[in-house]
Structure 1
Amino acid sequence: MSKSNQSPTQKIWKKFKKNKLAFGGMLFILLMMLMGVAGYLITPDQTPMASTMHLQLSNKKPGRTFSFLVISRNDKVKEVGIFEKMLYGQEANFKSIPITAHRIVGNTLLAREYIGEDEQAEEVAYPLVSGKNVYQQTFWLGTDMYGRDMLSRLILGIRVSLSVGLMAVLISLFIGISLGAVAGYYGGKVDAGISWLMNVIWSLPSLLLVIAISFALGKGFWQIFIAVGLSTWVDVARLVRGQVLALKEVEFVEASKALGFSTPRIIIKHILPNIAGPILVVASANFASAILLESGLSFLGFGAQPPMPSWGSMIKEHYGYIIMDAAYLAVLPGVAIMLTVYAFNLLAIGLRDAFDVKSQNVTV
């Protein structure tokens, strides 16, 4: 297909693919999204919130494999369907303990419970239960301070970060586009009033503003969406206002006014589609900012509440181990945050180049 026959979308996509770093960032984001959607289907610990605790196994190194003895089963636990399991996990129908050795004598299973690396427990008799009595589990990224599987909690943490980022960006886009378009199109006192509000919000540190909103709304997962969204709309509003000011005097807008089209129609159908590129660039950058804000909130205790796995709360729980021999407990979620934010920034830069908005004062 010749260049002259390519649609604008195809041209933008071709330019975007030429930026290898941006394309790699997009692939990384897609991989994270797939892992977040799959959720419990790919986590080693498929219980709700991946909160199965074995305190004897706290802070174990990555790659360790342990044997577990099933000491009881609960047949009343209902097995959920695959879709419900993907979203909420499957409650375990058994209780188990880590062991170092076991042997079967008649209808009795003799086992030594794991109590430490250099200690050996006495052999205790346990009744045989139906089904498999002993199984093994490998903790590929080790265990946290409560003996929970780190890999499972890191995967579930993807859901928290991406969902907060998505909802916060949608809220910021709705508020920012609405106020920015109104300010830029009408001008005068309307523009002055909205610009004053934008400058006030702009002057406040984002994290402090989010904390203040969180205090007003209370702690919780859904409150984070609103708090982060209400603190990131100014970037969108400033951009939209400037773009609308530049476009409202062009010929096709004047022609729309002459034809008697309503103001909402002119803004929504004629102006906003022409500034979609810069808006997408700012939205990608705001996605990265939202993830950082959510992680900061969770670290400070205002974000996702335990036992919900969040990268920020995982760092908070284990930052004291940085100076010990278990620094990976805090480094792993920190690396996850860094790579995700970096990928969204690369995506924003790639979109900026693809839409050719470098000369339109759009920064990321």
Structure 2
Amino acid sequence: MAVASPIAPLRAAAPARPPGYYVRQRLLGNRPAMAGLGFILLCTLVALAGYWILPDPSPDANSGVVQLQKEPPGFSATILRIPAPDSAGTANAGPLHTWLYGRAPQFQEIPISSYRIEGDSVLVEPYQNHSALADVPRRFSLTQLAGQAGSAAELRQVVEQDRIVRRTYWLGTDKAGRDELSRLLLGTRISLGIGLVAVLISLALGMLIGAVAGYVGGWVDSLLMGVMTVVWSIPGIMLVIAISLALDSKGVWTSFVAVGLTMWVDVARVVRGQMLSLREKTFVEAGRVLGLPQSRLIARHLLPNMTGPLIVIATSNFAAAILLEAGLSFLGLGVQPPAPSWGLMVNEGFQLLGTQAGLWLTLLPGLAISLLVLSFNLLGNGLRDAYDPKTPLSHA
């Protein structure tokens, strides 16, 4: 009789996984990091949509109604829209132009408290808020409001359906009567844009200088380390002021470049340290024996091995750039009015502290800055843990 083999069947070995698989699993299992990533993606979608989703799609969301200044969140008003004389050309602006620059207002807007139609004219009672002076009733012809010819019934229908609208300001209005929600949403473009440009500039400069310092060594390393130490000792705001003075300009793109030029030292120090460790590895010695150029060794074999630390520091620099830009704009040294920078909006609200409107006009952009910076910090912490092999996976 045949005897069964005493060797138990071997269980199937677990499939081999690349290191990136475990990095993704650790990151996906980190709930705070995923919450931060979700908020960043939401802000990115808002920034990409831009003027297409704004309640006020005018350039810089700068169309204000002075009679509605400093109104609280949730405020609603009835608006009379009078066709602007030069609105014909702006109505045909293409979608790409609207996405980039917004759409010029096609109407002159007047808030009203009531109206009534008498024959071929409309008698309106102007709206009076807590900070506006009293105004007298005004009369407009139906033809003027409709902007076209037609019978009295047709003109009346156009006026009531399209020229007299009810509008809600969900986050209130600022001191110029501009929609606070539109300016907050558009401000994501500036914050994310300056973070992206700053990170790209800092990565390009930092990787170049750090790689040369760490790989070449000797007097080159000492010289570049001296430059890093000097730049490191100067406050970032002072560097941005100096760069703005050198460029003789204060604007959005000047702020982008100036902030980026102040953040490369962190990247350079990390790359230099990693390069000092990796240049003694066996694969680098093999590359030298094969006669590979130093530039190829650095670009194709050494820098790719620093992906993890560079991603983590880039995330940290993103948050730091947003904070630096907000501080510069608050001081009037960064993005200039009427661009909707969150730091500039905090300054406008700060000037109104002590009034009823000052609280939310300061709190709303300050909260937006805090949430976005917190999201990048949470994501950076999650990436740091994800690239650490000692961090356990969240599931088997």
Shift of 1:120: 6.3
Q: Secondary structure at the match of 1:110?
A: strand
1:66-87 CA-to-partner distances (Å, cap 9, x unmatched) read 0011233433434222232222
Report the residue type matching 2:109 in the other structure: S
Partner of 1:105: 118
Residues 1-364 of structure 1 aligned to structure 2 (within 5 Å): 4-73=15-84, 74-117=87-130, 121-128=135-142, 129-130=145-146, 131=158, 132-217=162-247, 218-326=249-357, 327-356=359-388
C-alpha distance in structure 2 between counterparts of 1:121 and 1:177, whole Å: 63
Q: In the TM superposition, what is the alpha-carbon distance from 1:133 to its structure 2 partner?
A: 2.1
Preserved CA contact (<8 Å) 1:171 1:233: yes
Kept in 1: contact 2:312–2:380 (CA 8 A): yes
Pick closer, same or farther for the CA change 1:345–1:3 going to 2, 3 Å: farther
Q: Secondary structure at the match of 1:305?
A: coil
- Name the CA shift for 1:317/1:119 in 2 (closer, same or farther; >3 Å): closer
* TM-score, structure 1 as length reference: 0.95
SS at match of 1:323: coil
Q: What do residues 234-282 of structure 1 show as CA deviations (whole Å, max 9, x unaligned)?
A: 0000000000000000101111111110001101111111111001100
Query: Hey, what's the Cα distance between the residues in 1 that align with 2:68 and 2:98?
Result: 26
Report the 3-state secondary structure (helix = DSSP H, G, I; strand = E; otherwise coil) of the residue aligned with 2:173. Answer: coil
Segment drifting more, 323-332 vs 114-123: 114-123
1:309 aligned partner, one-letter code: P
Say which SS state the counterpart of residue 158 (structure 1) adopts: helix
TM-score under structure 2 length normalisation: 0.87
CA contact under 8 A between 1:278 and 1:357: conserved in structure 2? no
Q: Residues 78 and 70 (structure 1 numbering): CA distance in 2 closer, same or farther, change over 3 Å?
A: closer
- RMSD across aligned positions (CA): 1.8
1:362 is aligned to: none
2 CA distance for matches of 1:186 and 1:3? 42
Deviation at 1:319, TM superposition (A): 0.3
Measure the CA separation in 2 of the matches of 1:208 and 1:3.
Answer: 55
Report how far residue 307 of structure 1 moved: 1.1
Other structure's SS at 1:152 match? helix
Identity level (%): 47
Conserved 8 A contact 2:81-2:107: yes
1:322–1:328 Cα contact (<8 Å) kept: no
Contact between 1:36 and 1:156, CA under 8 Å: does it hold in 2?
A: yes
Gaps of 5+ in 2: 1-11, 147-157, 392-396
Deviation at 1:37, TM superposition (A): 0.6
Instruction: Tell me, yes or no, if the aligned pair for 1:26 and 1:344 is still in contact at 8 Å.
Output: yes
Worse-superposed segment, 203-212 or 99-108: 203-212
Cα distance, 1:124 vs structure 2 = 1.9
Structure having the higher Rg: 2
Contact 1:311–1:337 under 8 Å retained in 2: yes
**How far, CA to CA, are the matches of 1:25 and 1:4 in structure 2?**
31
Alpha-carbon distance in 1 for matches of 2:14, 2:353? 54
Query: How many pairs align?
Result: 359
- Show structure 1 runs of 5+ residues with no match: 360-364
**Contact between 1:79 and 1:90, CA under 8 Å: does it hold in 2?**
no
